[in-house]
Every structure is written in C-alpha cells, then in structure tokens.
Amino acid sequence: MPASLDHIHPGTPMGANLVADGATFRCWAPHARSVHVVGDFNNRVRNDAALLTRDEQGHWRGFIPGVKDRQRYMFYVVGKGSEGLKRDPYARELESPFPSECIIRRTDFLWHKSDYVTPRFDELVIYQLHVGTFFTPNLPHKGGTFLDVARKLPHLSQLGITALQLMPIQEFQTSFSLGYNGTDYFSPEMDFAVADTDLGPYVEEVNGLLEANGLRRYQVEDLHGEMNQLKALVDLSHLYGMAVLLDVVYNHAGGEFGDQSLYFFDRQDPAGGQGNSLYFSDKGHAGGLVFDFAKPEVRDFLIQNARFFLDEYRVDGFRYDQVSVIDHDGAPQGWRFCQDLTSTLHAHRPDALNHAEYWSVNPYIVKTPPEGAGFDTTLTDGLRIAIRDVIGNASAPDERPLNMTSLAQSLWPEGFSEQWRFVQGPENHDIVYREREQRIARLGDPEHPRSWFARSRARVATGLSLTAPGVPMLFMGQEFLEDKQWADDFVSHHDLLLYWAGLDQGDRQMLDHLRFTRELLDLRRRSPGLRGQGFRVVHAHDQNRVLAFHRWVEGEGHDVIVVAHLANFTRVGYRIGFPRGGDWRELFNSDVYEQWVNAGVMGNGGRVVADPQPLHGFDYSAAVVLPATTVMVFAR
C-alpha cells in the first residue's frame, strides 16, 4: 500500500518534516506519473510503502514511519520524459560531497538568549562579504567558512558595523562561485561548512568569543553540519550586536543544474522546451533560467524560502539580487510577485529588512503597494559613480577641475522621500571583482596604491559615503585599505585574498585607515544629524575641488556641516556658509589619520567661528582651513 496519509493534511509543509514516529514528505510534481521516497529508512527500495499520493493540485504527499533525524533521502520521480532521483527542492541540508543526498533535519540548535533587536533601518551600516574568501586560514586545503567569518566578529563589531550582508550562501554546484548560481535554495552551501571531524579547533575558537561575553559554550555536536554552523554565525553576530542579511537570488537559478536538481523536477519531456522545466520560464539570465512567476507554486516556493530563513535561521533580512530581472524578464507577473513577497514578509517580520537591487534605479521599488513593490530600501549607484569619478580624476598629475557639482547632485538620488531608503558605497562585489574596476586605494593612485595620495583619497571616498544621506555599505577589506581586486576562486587567485596578515603584523598604513574608518563610524553613531532626514548642499566648486553639505534632524537640530576637499594643497581662510552663528566644533578631520597621530596635521584647532557674513544661502559663514585631500565634520 502507498505511504500512509494518516499524519497528512493539505496544509502539511513542503519537503521532509519529522513528526510523531516518522516523517511527512511533500513535493510539487504536477506532471509526474509517480513519486517515491527512498532513503536510509527503507534501504532505498521503491516499493508501495515508499509511494506518495497525488492530490488535485499536483502535490505528492505521504507519511513514512520510522524516519529519524539526519537520515538521508531522495525523491524518485517517474515522468513522461524520464525517470530517476531528484533532490528535495525544500531540503534543509545536503550530504557532502556534492552531488549528494538530502538530509532530514530536526530544528535542534540551542540559541543563546539575547536581548538583541534588529536595528532601525536608519541605523544600518552594512558590511558586504563573501564567506568563501573573507577569511581563509586553512588554505590551500579549504576556503573560508561560516565559522571563519564568526572568528572575525570582534573586528567587525569594534569597527562599528551593524549588519553583515553575506553574499549568497545557498547551495551552488561549482567549487568556486560568487553564489549567484544557486540550485538548492533551502540548504546552505556545503563548502562553507567545516567537516564534523575538523570541528574541534573551531569550537574552541568560537567558544572563546562566548566566554568573553560570559555565555554558555557550544559543544562539538552543536555545530555538526552546515545548518548549525550558519546558525552559530547568526547567533554570535547577534551577541556582538550585528544583524545578518542574506543575499538571495529569486530572479533566476542555475548555471549548471544537474539531473537531480529541481530543473525538470517532474521529468517532463525536455524536447518540449524550457517551458516544461516546471519552476522556470524559457528566459535566461546570467547563465541560468528565470523563475516562472506566473505559477503560484513557484511564487510560494520563493516566499516560503524567505520565511524559512527568517524563522529557522533568525536572519534579519535580505538583499534581493537583480529585482529588475524579476520585473522585466518575469513580466507580467514579476512585479506582482515582488508585492506578494514584501507584503508577506512585512506581516510576518515587520522589523526585517527587504533590500532590493534594481537597475536602473527605480524609486517605485520602495513605495508601498499597489503603487510600488514594497521593498524597504534599494541599492543606488549615483554616489558610487560620482565618488569614483572625482577620485579617479584627482589621481591625474594636474590640478584639473573635478566634478564636485555632479558629486553634490548624487548625494540624494531623485525620487526618494526618506534618506534611509537608498543604500550606497564606493565599492561592492560587482564593481571590484577581478579585472573590473579598481578598489578605491588603487583608483586614487594607480601606480602607488599605498602613497599619501592613495591613502588620503581613500579616506575622502569612504568619508563621503559614511557621512552622506543613505545607508552606507562597505565591501570587505575597504576598512583597512585593501587595494587588490577580489575573486571567488581562492586557489587560482589566492593573491587576491584580503591581507589580514598586515593587520596582525602591524602594517601602519592599514591600521591607520582602520582607525579612521572605526572612529568616523563612531562619530556617525553618536551624531543624530549624520543619520537625520535634513539635508542640503551648501557649496560645490569644481575648480577648487570643494564640496560642503549640511545635515540635521528635522524639528530638533543637531546641525552638522561636512566638507570634502580634494586639492593637493591646503587652503587657508576658505569661507563656507554655516546655518548658525558662533562656535562650531571641528569634530573630525581625516588629516589626523595620516601617520596617526599626524604631527603635522593641518586644520582649525578644534573649532571655527561663524560670523554674520551671509554666504551660500545662510546668514553666517566661517573662514575654514581645508587641509589637502581631506574630509571634515563640524557641529555645534
């Protein structure tokens, strides 16, 4: 007889779920002729007891007694075009090495009790990293892992980061990848996990982080498998005061799929074209296939995936890759899918961030439905482009005018009513990948990326991002002056890995830049005006290479004036408009961080006085010393 339905009802969760004295199994395969479950619990025999029952919606379901936690299983699908094994699209974990069987998992991770609360969106400072290349102490045998990232949490916490944005961590089939070719959406990438047999030293290392906070230690068995190691990273990140955001790819899947993937899951005849692939349309993107958003089951698969990571892993939100592809290539249902996705998640977890990548920038992506797509924030590129333009042109051996006017215009992109709705930064994984654009330090001086010119221009670039409107984002290594491109292949491109050894060995230039970034982030945290809604450009002068802007909290004040100067010499007595008269404190001067503490620092001795000389639309102005290639912050 077929697998029992006694424990099953139509609302049973998809995939494999342990209940009572066995497990329920459910999959969507509307055109399959039969579906069996085979695994450790039935010696992988396709008998009647392993046969699932089909309902009217094309879901196959059943209950198999005696199934235990961590047993392996697969679906065996017989279709019109072929028959064979298929991995469960909802599998929570996969067996290493890949390709492999699915693993039934109970939710058994022992989370630490914490009063952690996801930050308000206007308090976010995002740090983007790639797990496999961020910190790689075990080369050449293995790249970076979730637990390697965890070992650097004290560094990131001290830096002032409030949210880690992990590049895609869902299972992909190749050994090296940026992560945007995922195939198994509910299972973390196996290469990002430490093998159970190698966990001992890792457990001791992360237990040191717990003991530093007076918290219960992990046991080795607590961290068996990629599921629990990713959960440990989230657990520890929260204990260190940082949110975790996952980069998810809901526009397309693949690259390579393999016969056992969700590709042609119900095994229709491939001769009928990609439209028979069940989950996908016939449109491609980035080497993969765009999801078929016209099918409710596909939309539900992706929405349930997001809910799963919010609930099972307690993540704090998502960065959605190429939402513009969902909209354009997924038309006419892609935009509706975005609205359904954001509405569901806002109702489920109102504090979780839904952050979209959409090109070209579209302000409607952050407006509420029915007008907009309902995302909280979106990535913008105007400030990045403008910063890179002025820094690149500043590196030319002349005193040419710089486009400070365009830089000023880019500070608040058109169409956005709230300053925290857009995310910006001069570097990200796409821009500085391999042979694409240079990292900021090298852009500032291509021949000598550790020269004074490179260092000071990198300070201005990062300083503008951290004081401008919007949610700032740093890319891994930017905080300590990394000047190399990066690559996902840590074997062939080991020369492009982050230079952590420089910090360990006391590299003066790296440590100075790290201090600069850390202390400017601390100033941002302590200064409400640098996170407030009030904003106006005060002064932009292309020939003089000067930009000044005013930030404040509407209705409260907390006025701040930020001045960026990219000339290679100091200007004395440069007059800038100020919103109020009297003393203004010089809160920050990036020239101090040149060979910390810079004995020859140029500046204003900690204060300037705004007198009643109208300028730049204000009733007051002050004569200011502008050190060469510097960003400065003044406040009342």
The Cβ of residue 370 has, within 10 Å, a number of other Cβ atoms equal to 8
Decide if pLDDT at 288 tops 60. yes
pLDDT at 176: 87
Comparing 80-94, 97-111, 304-318, which segment has the lowest mean pLDDT?
97-111
180 is a domain residue: yes
* Band (198; pLDDT cuts 50, 70, 90): very high
Q: Are residues 268 and 240 in the same domain?
A: no
Q: Are residues 361 and 260 in the same domain?
A: yes
Q: In this structure, what CATH number is given to the domain that contains residue 187?
A: 3.30.750.90
Cis peptide before 471 (omega within 30 of 0): no
Q: Are residues 232 and 277 in the same domain?
A: no
Q: Are residues 309 and 370 in the same domain?
A: yes
389 is a domain residue: no
402 is a domain residue: no
pLDDT at 118: 97
Q: Scanning the structure block, which residue is given the tokens 């307690």?
A: 314
Packed helices 452-467 and 382-394: angle between N→C axes, nearest 10 degrees: 160
Label residue 123 exposed, middle or buried (CB < 10 Å: 0-12, 13-18, 19+).
middle
Q: Please, what's the b/e burial string for 35-62 (b: 16 or more CB within 10 A of its CB; e: otherwise)?
A: bbbbbebbebeeeebbbbebeeeebbbb
Rounded mean pLDDT, 399-414: 97
Q: Are residues 216 and 274 in the same domain?
A: no
Decide if pLDDT at 218 tops 70. yes
What total of structural domains would you count in the chain? 3
pLDDT, tens digit (0-9, with 9 covering 90-100), for 453-485 = 999 999 999 999 999 999 999 999 999 999 999
494 is a domain residue: no
Decide if pLDDT at 6 tops 70. no
Q: Are residues 582 and 555 in the same domain?
A: yes
Q: Are residues 217 and 264 in the same domain?
A: no
Q: Are residues 194 and 169 in the same domain?
A: yes
Q: In this structure, what CATH number is given to the domain that contains residue 613?
A: 2.60.40.1180
571 is a domain residue: yes
Short-list 87, 29, 103, 91, CA closest to 258:
87
C-alpha distances in Å from residue 109, one per residue of 13, 215, 231, 268: 20, 15, 8, 39
pLDDT, tens digit (0-9, with 9 covering 90-100), for 88-102 = 999 999 998 776 899
Structure pTM? 0.97
Sign of CA pseudo-dihedral 37, 68, 305, 136: negative
Q: Of 321, 342, 377, which residue constitutes the final position of a domain?
A: 377
pLDDT at 189: 95
Q: Are residues 140 and 229 in the same domain?
A: yes
pLDDT at 96: 81
561 is a domain residue: yes
Q: Which domain holds residue 271?
A: 249-377
Please tell me the distance from the alpha carbon of residue 286 to that of residue 608, in angstroms, as a whole number. 53
Decide if pLDDT at 197 tops 80. yes
pLDDT at 224: 95
Q: Of 182, 213, 248, which residue constitutes the final position of a domain?
A: 248
Rounded mean pLDDT, 96-113: 89
Q: Are residues 295 and 217 in the same domain?
A: no
Decide if pLDDT at 606 tops 70. yes
625 is a domain residue: yes
388 is a domain residue: no
Type and span of the H or E element at 302:
helix 296-312
In DSSP terms, which residues pair with 540 in a beta bridge? 547
C-alpha distances in Å from residue 458, one per residue of 127, 166, 512, 544, 631: 17, 24, 12, 19, 10
Decide if pLDDT at 9 tops 80. no
Decide if pLDDT at 8 tops 80. no
Please tell me the distance from the alpha carbon of residue 357 to that of residue 327, in angstroms, as a whole number. 11
pLDDT at 141: 83
Short-list 230, 229, 244, 247, CA closest to 161:
244
Q: Are residues 254 and 366 in the same domain?
A: yes
Q: Of 221, 248, 275, which residue constitutes the final position of a domain?
A: 248
Q: Are residues 263 and 183 in the same domain?
A: no
* Band (2; pLDDT cuts 50, 70, 90): low
C-alpha distances in Å from residue 506, one per residue of 87, 132, 480, 499, 562: 49, 25, 12, 12, 31
